[in-house]
Amino acid sequence: MKKKILVIVGHPSKKSFAKTLAERYIKGAEKTGYLTKKLFLSEMEFDPVLHEGYNLHQKLEKDLIKAQKEIVWADHIVLFYPIWWGSPPSLLKGFIDRVFLPGFAFKYENKKLKKLLSGKTASIIVTAGGNFFGYSIIGKIMIKPISIGTFSFCGIKCKKEMSG
Give one DSSP letter per residue of 20-31, joined into a string: HHHHHHHHHHHH
Written as one letter, the residue type at 68 is Q
Name the β-bridge partners of 115: 106
Say yes or no: domain 4-163 is CATH 3.40.190.10: no
**H-helix or E-strand spanning residue 92:** helix 90-99
pLDDT in tens, the chain (164 residues): 789 999 999 999 999 999 999 999 999 999 999 999 999 999 999 999 999 998 888 999 999 999 999 999 999 999 999 988 888 999 999 999 999 999 999 999 999 999 999 999 999 999 887 766 666 666 667 788 899 999 999 999 998 665 55
Q: What is the pLDDT of residues 116-147, one digit of tens each?
A: 999 999 999 998 877 666 666 666 677 888 99
**Contact by Cβ (8 Å): 71, 116:** no
The sign one gets for the Cα dihedral 48, 25, 37, 143 is: negative
Q: Cα(147)–Cα(121) distance, rounded to whole angstroms? A: 10
Tell me the helices (H) and strands (E) count for the chain, helix number first. Answer: 5, 7
141: left (phi over 0), alpha (psi -120 to 50) or beta: alpha
CB proximity list for 123: less than 8 A, separation 6 or greater: 76, 77, 78, 79, 158, 159, 160, 161, 162
